[in-house]
Chain A
Amino acid sequence: MTPFQYARANDVADAIKQIATDPSAKFIAGGTNLIDLIKYDVEGPSRLIDISHLPLRSIEPTSAGGVLIGAMVPNTDLAYHPLIEGRYPLLSRAILSGASQQLRNMASTGGNLLQRTRCFYYYDTATPCNKREPGSGCSAIDGVNRINAILGTSEACIATHPSDMCVALAALEATVHVTGPAGARTIAFADFHRLPGNTPQRDTNLEPDEIITAIELPPKGFSANYSYLKIRDRLSYAFALVSVAAALELDGDTIKEARLALGGVAHKPWRSSAAEAALLGQRADATAFAKAADWLLHGAKGYGHNNFKIGLARRAIIRTLDQAARGTPQSNSDKKIR
């Protein structure tokens, strides 16, 4: 690894102060993405500021009826917390479908949001990549793009955001709490990640001198009718080719509220208000689900190797909505898709 300095942050204020004084420094939390990228020479920070010991490890109910999750909470602790398993099982399932138990033990809540794309060329420093080296070109558009995006792409970049947890957080409409030199602010989950546009080097709207302190869940957890379905090349320990988070509120078999988010298909968890609106007041059946799928995939475009994702996503959306409506969410250990 390229040498770097190391310093521990004492508290949030100290972390912000340290990052402000050194523009080539980076925070490190679980390290599962950053250490990997340093080893591949994709990242080359001069200094790592260790925020893993900051007291941001609690999971607490809020006065608004939701839950506040500290940014350093490990992914496993979050997935298995009784409040999350009980009230937000969609989030539990999404987290447990990602990576491995070892990695989930290490990975932090904040770090999961900021993990970088798994686009092959982003990792391969011998090839052009606008995300890694702005202006150098995109090797994926005319290259091996089987894992790349079909929605919200630009001519500069067709990368996907690889997180599972974020797909559930998008569907649940979480809020990201951040703190910077100017103080604290909150960012709605939908506004946190960005589309690539002309600046694919920027994944999110977090400023370089800001730190994520917490994620807040609103009261509604859709614990009765939800499902997270992840389609991948292996049955476990592989990134999503397509994943779907579906959450419904039903009155009999009529849909009163619907949330739908896709993973593995865009630069951010993909939602569409038209798709969710199309489900409102409808009977929870295949016809309604297919319409919603068409809306959600409106404008989808393949780049060759990833053309299959469009049909795969459509079928996965319909199946996941059906699982949610039936109250039979996809299991993480029984791999049959029912």
Chain B
Amino acid sequence: MARSGTAKRVTRTATVPEKIPIRLTVNGNHMELTVAPWTTLLDALRDHLDLTGTKKGCDHGQCGACTVLVDGRRINSCLTLAVMKQGAEIVTIEGLAQDGELHPLQQAFIDHDAFQCGYCTSGQICSAAGLIAEGKAKTADEIRELMSGNICRCGAYPNIVAAIQQAMERS
């Protein structure tokens, strides 16, 4: 097995790993930052770039609150190392509105009251943007299945599905 299971940990003396400079395009803006190798994309966005719209729910890939688009695809930013995304194009909830106009998904979430506390919402909307780009979901059942990576503890699911259906019809 490739390294796994080797519970014995090597005691590390001295050398703290060096920070690494990276370039990212975030919401169309060219960004240069220097991060530790273990900095997740989520922490880089929130703590280094002050883009706190992306939320940290579980930090373990289990809730979807941290969903962002990387090179057009939705991923969990909490399980992504920033250093591995050198040169990538990132879109977060802050980058969806254009010229002061809400993104159709943002408008649809308001129209359908598709949130309560709002903590999952930026992840839901970014995930739905990925879903629409993928073009694999047509029915409500398919939307539910392909949105299952976004948990809403307030249980706004029926309205979330309705909002996504509205945005889909208009896109």
Contacts and interface: CB of A to CB of B under 8 A. Distances in A.
A236 B143 CA distance: 12
A256 interface: no
B2 A31 contact: no
Nearest to B73: A105
Contacts of B100: none
A35 B79 contact: yes
Contact of A201 (B1, B141, B148): B1
B96 interface: no
B69 to A, nearest CB: 10
B5 A202 contact: yes
Contacts of A5: 17-18, 37
Contacts, number: 145
A270 B138 CA distance: 35
B1 A6 contact: no
Interface string B95-113: 0000000000000000000
B139 A48 contact: no
B130 A103 contact: no
Nearest to A193: B1
A200 B1 CA distance: 10
Nearest to A212: B2
A277 interface: no
B10 A103 contact: no
Contacts of B9: 24, 44
Contacts of B64: 100, 102
A45 to B, nearest CB: 7
Interface string A126-148: 00000111100000000000000
B40 A6 contact: no
A76 B130 CA distance: 13
Which of B2, B3, B7 counts the most chain A CB atoms within 10 A?
B2
A132 B150 CA distance: 30
Given A6-B20, A114-B2, A101 B134 contact: yes
Interface string A184-203: 00000000000000001111
B40 to A, nearest CB: 7
Contact of B79 (A31, A52, A116): A31
B140 to A, nearest CB: 9
A44 B83 CA distance: 18
Given A105-B73, A201-B7, A208 B2 contact: yes
A46 interface: yes
A334 interface: yes
A289 interface: no
Interface range on chain A (Cβ under 8 Å from partner)? 35 or more
Contacts of B7: 132-134, 201
B81 A6 contact: yes
Interface string A54-87: 0000000000000000000000100010000000
B47 to A, nearest CB: 14
Interface residues of B, number: 48
B6 interface: yes
A103 B76 contact: yes
Given A28-B84, A102-B67, A206 B1 contact: yes
B117 interface: no
Nearest to B12: A46
B1 A36 contact: no
Contact of A3 (B3, B5, B16, B131): B16
Q: Which of A25, A35, A46 has the most CB of B within 10 A?
A: A35
Given A6-B17, A236-B145, A102 B10 contact: no
Contacts of B61: 32, 36, 102-103
A43 interface: yes
A282 to B, nearest CB: 34
Given A102-B127, A237-B148, A332-B145, A43 B4 contact: yes
Nearest to A22: B10
A203 B5 contact: yes
Given A36-B61, A102-B76, A201-B1, A4 B149 contact: no
B30 interface: no
A53 to B, nearest CB: 8
Q: Which of A102, A235, A332 has the most CB of B within 10 A?
A: A102
Interface of A: 1-6, 24-28, 31-32, 35-36, 38-39, 43-46, 48, 50, 52, 76, 80, 99-103, 105-106, 114, 116, 131-134, 200-204, 206-208, 210-211, 235-237, 332-335
Given A102-B61, A102-B64, 6 more contacts: A5-B18, A43-B4, A50-B83, A105-B75, A114-B2, A133-B7
